[in-house]
Amino acid sequence: MNPIDLGGLLLYFAILIYIGYRSAKKVSGSADFAVAGNKIIWPVLFATLAASFLGGGASMGRAGKSFDEGYAFMVAASAFPLATVLAGLFIAPRLKRYVNAQTVGDIMAQHFGASARLFTGIFSLVFCIGILGAQALAVGTVFHAILGIEVSTGILIGMAVVLLYSTVGGMWAVIQTDVVQFLMLAVFLPVTMLIGIHDLGGPQALVERLPEGHFSLMGDYSVGMFLSIFIAFLLGETLVPPYTQRALSAPDSRHARIGYSVAGGFGFLFYLVSATIGLVALVLYPTISPDQAMPTLIRDALPVGITGLVLASLLAVVMSTADSYLNSAAVIFVGDIYKPFIEPDVSEKKRLWIERLVNLLIGLGAVVFALYATSIIDALLLSYALWAPTILLPFVFAVLFDLRCTRSAVAAMLAGALVTILWKWGPFDLQAATGLTALIAGVIANVLVFVLVYRLFRSVPDAPVAAKAQ
């Protein structure tokens, strides 16, 4: 790498570390570490949320899939920004009714009791670590493509920076670095796309040189496969802990609604940019690995002095998601598992230090996960299967319809998890036999069990449930 480009990259790392250092002064308690004191107005909420969900999967993952399969995957995966817009309009504003809530588990406990909080905390924690591992792998992929160093070494370098600023600065550091990272990705990735298209001779030249079907909306997908991918992205990452945390960080429902909805709208544009970069890379570098499509185009197509900045923006995309899931995992462990079930009377000071320690330990665990994962998208889809079939739908039912039945929520989460595990790792190929993916089968089981148990037991008293915050 040119020294000028390397200098730009090092400057970016230095800025992130400095933000973490300054943010540490704002963190005086758990509320600052978890939800930034509920002071995040909608323009900042939009930037931090967009930066969080437009990570390695939405950037390099989409580019890699478009490289392989054309626009079809991007179209199917656009179910996620659609779900984000809908969540912003109908669910995010309602979350502000839960005073002092910091996690999904806090809200589930108010509707379904302590058992639901515990299972929500466990499943959420595993999910966050899986997504975090995918982002760590993406960081290593960028370093390998640009600098030629081993992926494992890149994982260690990039995650070391994330661990440093997120551990000391908590949500304040995560949100402030997200804003910087969002501004970089919003400028430099479209620039990369435009330069690549120009080098090919324009949009028409790109279309003419693509393999047949790469520019179609359905590609080679069957209707069933397209719908499976669509549903996976519609449900797999909707209202996951870091995004719910963002809505809870807003000062009121208006800021939550606008920030969340605008971020979803931006996602459609970003998906198109990432996918197009993958198509450009396919024409220019047809023999490279798909996950290398975006970083390779950045390395070879851009002039000296710009490459380092665009590399930094690509790392920004990934690191902004990694820091969000890292912070969320730490807050979940302490808020939904440690405090309620291990040390209910933990002091505010001790809780903060435990969150920081857990932040560090979970980050190290995600690094180990990343060292053994083989594909960014595969890692994401595996993690998605841990969210939608367990927590998502009982959570949505609770928020939208004010449902309260401990038995229904716990039974639904366990049923969804069991069916998903059997579908994915059981002795029989149930997907081939039924045509249903593990995620869809788990979601169906989750809904059916929730409705059935709710109808049977809604009039039967549960153990006391915390009163809903007004």
pLDDT of residue 237: 80
The predicted-structure confidence for 118-134, as pLDDT tens digits, reads as follows 999 999 988 888 778 77
Instruction: Work out the average pLDDT over 248-257.
Output: 94
Integer Cα distance of 113 and 99 in angstroms: 17
Are 141 and 155 contacting, i.e. CB atoms less than 8 angstroms apart?
A: no
Amino acid at 189: L
pLDDT at 278 over 50: yes
**pLDDT value of residue 377:** 55
**pLDDT grade, residue 304 (50/70/90)?**
low
Predicted local distance difference test score (pLDDT) of residue 382? 66
For the chain, the straight-line distance linking the first and the last C-alpha, in angstroms and rounded, comes to 56
The pLDDT of residue 37 is 75
**Which of 141, 88, 57 lies closest to 317 in space, CA to CA?**
57
Structure tokens at 234: 């519609």
Mean pLDDT on 355-369: 85
Do 380 and 61 meet the contact criterion of CB atoms below 8 Å apart?
yes
**Mean pLDDT for the stretch of residues 330-334:** 91
* Tens digit of each residue's pLDDT (9 = 90 or more) over 398-428: 999 999 999 999 999 999 999 998 998 888 8
pLDDT bucket at 42, cuts 50 / 70 / 90: very high
- Checking if the pLDDT of 450 tops 90, the result is yes
How crowded is residue 286: how many other Cβ atoms within 10 Å of its Cβ? 10
pLDDT number for residue 14: 83
- Residue 316: pLDDT band with limits 50, 70, 90: low
Name the band, by pLDDT with cuts 50, 70 and 90, for residue 9. confident
Q: Is the pLDDT of residue 281 over 60?
A: yes
**pLDDT number for residue 38:** 84
pLDDT band at 282; cut points 50, 70, 90:
very high
51 pLDDT more than 90: no
Report CA-CA distances (Å) from 55 to 134, 324, 346.
9, 10, 34
pLDDT at 461 over 60: no
* Residues of the chain by 3-state class (helix, strand, coil), percent to 5: 80, 0, 20
The arithmetic mean of pLDDT across residues 378-383, rounded, is 62
Using pLDDT thresholds of 50, 70 and 90, give the confidence band for residue 141.
confident
Which pLDDT score is estimated for 313?
67
Residue of 128, 116, 118 lying closest to 337 (CA atoms): 118
DSSP single-letter state for residue 291: G
- For residue 107, the surrounding DSSP H or E stretch is helix 104-112
- Longest Cα pair distance anywhere in the chain, in angstroms? 70
pLDDT > 90 in the chain, percent: 33
Q: How many residues does the chain have?
A: 470
Contact call for residues 261 and 417 (beta carbons, < 8 A): no
CB 336 within 8 A of CB 120: yes
CA dist 168 → 18, 28, 53, 322 (Å): 11, 11, 22, 15
Q: What does the H/E/C string look like for 184-230?
A: HHHHHHHHHHHHHHHHHCCHHHHHHHCCCCCCCCCCCCCHHHHHHHH
Provide the pLDDT for residue 259: 95
Q: Residue 202, Cβ neighbours under 10 Å: how many?
A: 11
**Residue 242 CA to its chain's centroid (Å):** 7
| 259 touches 43 (CB < 8 A) | yes
Residues contacting residue 295 through CB under 8 Å, at least 6 positions apart: 60, 141, 142, 144, 145, 146, 311, 314
At 55 the pLDDT is 64
| Amino acid letter, 206 | L
Six token digits for residue 389: 């079939």
* pLDDT averaged over every residue in the chain: 84
Please give the pLDDT value at position 112: 94
Q: Is the pLDDT of residue 8 over 60?
A: yes
The pLDDT of residue 415: 97
pLDDT for 466 beyond 50:
no
pLDDT at res. 153: 87
User: CA-to-CA distance for 400 and 407, rounded, in angstroms?
Assistant: 19
Residues 6+ apart with CB under 8 A from 319: 16, 135, 139, 158, 161, 162, 177, 181
Name the CATH topology of 3-377: Sodium/glucose cotransporter (1.20.1730)
Q: What is the mean pLDDT of residues 313-322?
A: 71
**Domain-by-domain residue ranges, the chain?**
3-377
Please state, in angstroms and as integers, the Cα–Cα distance from residue 68 to each residue in 71, 236, 346, 387, 445, following that order: 9, 22, 51, 27, 33
Yes or no: say if 227 and 435 are a contact pair by the CB < 8 Å rule: no
pLDDT tens, residue by residue, 260-271 = 999 999 989 988
Model pTM? 0.83
Q: Residue 373: is its pLDDT beyond 80?
A: no
Among residues 222, 277, 231, which one has the least CA distance to residue 58?
277
| pLDDT tens digit sequence for 82-110 | 999 999 999 999 999 998 898 999 999 99
Inter-residue contact 355 to 30 (CB < 8 Å): yes
